[in-house]
Chain A
Amino acid sequence: MKRLFIERRHTVKIDKSRDIGTPISDDDIIELYFGRDENAIKQTDIKYGRYLMNIAYYIVHNRQDCEECLNDTYLGAWNSIPPSRPKILQAFLTAIMRRVAVSCYRAKSSKKRVPSEFIDSISDFEDMLEDEYDMEKEYNAKELGESISAFVRSLSERQIYIFMGRYYFSRPIEDIADALGVSRSTVNKEIAAIKTGLRQKLESEGYTV
């Protein structure tokens, strides 16, 4: 099956050759972006296509939507590099893919209820959330991101893995438990502790949780 990457002015066709291609280095891929060489997309797909699809799948739970998200992610990368020069390309692409997949999920779920690990994970915070949107209370999401980042940095490696795995990558608890070699209940206990810490952190910074 062919995959289409649609850019405003032209179309880049990505085929399954990524399965047999040999990945090149991130620096080389970034140079391709800077040279406006469409091979950048193909090389990104070879190296990170499956990884990115996996991220999208946990959020949108639909293969076709994942493909769309992937195309949008490549478009985002194409439009961002340059001027951006990612320090870590995989993390850069991850951030784009997550935003794209969340947008996709929102668009789909506004029409109907869509089952998703993503929304299940956010439901963990239900007791901290309000229904009404109060603009005055809400800081911008970037500031909130900085606060959450500062909090996450204060956690142990293991807690970082759990927090990021569950809430950024929307991974199921059993997958996280399996990766760490612990039981589900252990992960749940860690999550409860992390939530308490996050609540305290956000409250101390004036957020209403």
Chain B
Amino acid sequence: MTKDFLIDGISNIDEDLIARFINIDEALSDSRVKVRRGRRLQSKIIAAAACLALLVGIGFAAVPVMNFMGIIGVGKATTDTVTQEPPNVSLGSVIMDDDMIDLNSDGTGDKIEIKIAENNATEAVIAVIDGKTDTEIWSGSMPISKDERCAYYFSNCIDGQDRLIFWSYSLTDGKLVYRCVMFNFDENNQRRILADTEHTFDFSDGHSPYEYEEERWAMLLKNLNKNLNASTVKGYLLVDNTGDEIEVWVPVKLMRKSDIRYTLSELIDKISN
């Protein structure tokens, strides 16, 4: 095949594929600024998650490898610190302190802390600490058992308000149950649930529960979006080290079902960059 022939062949690619590219490109452009701004956050949060996983890993050296989910962050720069509390108090914790994560919209950045209490813990504690008063305004748990995974993430939604999303799923009887709770805080630091949905996916057809097909995500998040009065979650990032590889998902436009998946090596690329 000659170069000219190949060039002409490519020139004859169907217009529907051109249109598809244009759609993807537009969707990426919509999120590009946000993703760019979020890159630093993502790397740091992933690093923080890795640190936590390390802490957890050290603690769990003598027990079967636990499943642990990571964290998501989209949209903002952050600074984070890792603190190691005394072993008898806590196995370890990660604090994310970001001037720009303002969950109660009081103009002061808030902190998120994840804490693993003991070696055989079945849950991690997530605390939201008000940046102004330095007091805990909410805490919740994140299961970390063998058959469950969970994650939480921030999503800087289309209306500009930060939201904390607690996401978990459990695997029983070949079914995968996802639960998404999306919330922020009002001016009195009262938690305001924006969406709380549960979705069951049946894997009795032989599919692996670890095949995160974009349709499933789209269905779930579409449901969330519906509950949010059509607000659109602009993107999320999910880190998962429970399987053979870590995957990060950034759906650039959920309603279009376009997901981007990163493999472990790509994730490492992202962190190292």
Interface residues of A (CB under 8 A from B): 86-88, 90-92, 94-95, 98-99, 102, 106, 122, 125, 128-133, 137-138, 141-142, 144-149, 152-153, 157-158, 160-161, 164-165, 167-169, 178-183, 185-186, 202, 207-209
Contacts and interface: CB of A to CB of B under 8 A. Distances in A.
B210 interface: no
Interface string B50-76: 000000000000000000000000000
Interface in B1-35: 1-22, 24-25, 28-29, 32, 35
Contact of B12 (A91, A145, A165, A181): A145
A91 B19 CA distance: 5
B15 A186 contact: no
B80 interface: no
Given A165-B25, A181-B260, A183-B273, A88 B15 contact: yes
B25 A161 contact: yes
A138 B261 CA distance: 37
B22 A91 contact: yes
Contact of A168 (B13, B32, B35, B250): B13
Given A91-B19, A158-B260, A160-B24, A208 B12 contact: no
Contacts of A141: 5, 8-9, 11-12
Contact of B28 (A86, A145, A179, A207): A179
A119 B18 CA distance: 19
Interface of B: 1-22, 24-25, 28-29, 32, 35-36, 39, 250, 258-262, 265-266, 269-270, 273
Nearest to B266: A186
Given A145-B14, A186-B269, A129 B19 contact: no
Given A129-B6, A141-B5, A181-B39, A146 B12 contact: yes
- Interface majority SS (helix, strand, loop, mixed), chain A: helix
Nearest 6 interchain pairs by C-beta: A145-B12, A144-B9, A141-B8, A164-B21, A91-B18, A91-B19
A207 B1 contact: yes
Contact of A153 (B11, B17, B18, B266): B17
B2 A148 contact: no
A170 B21 CA distance: 13
18 contacts: A91-B15, A122-B3, A122-B7, A128-B1, A129-B1, A137-B1, A138-B5, A144-B5, A145-B12, A152-B17, A157-B259, A164-B13, A165-B21, A179-B25, A181-B36, A181-B260, A183-B269, A186-B269
Contacts of B6: 122, 125, 128-129, 144
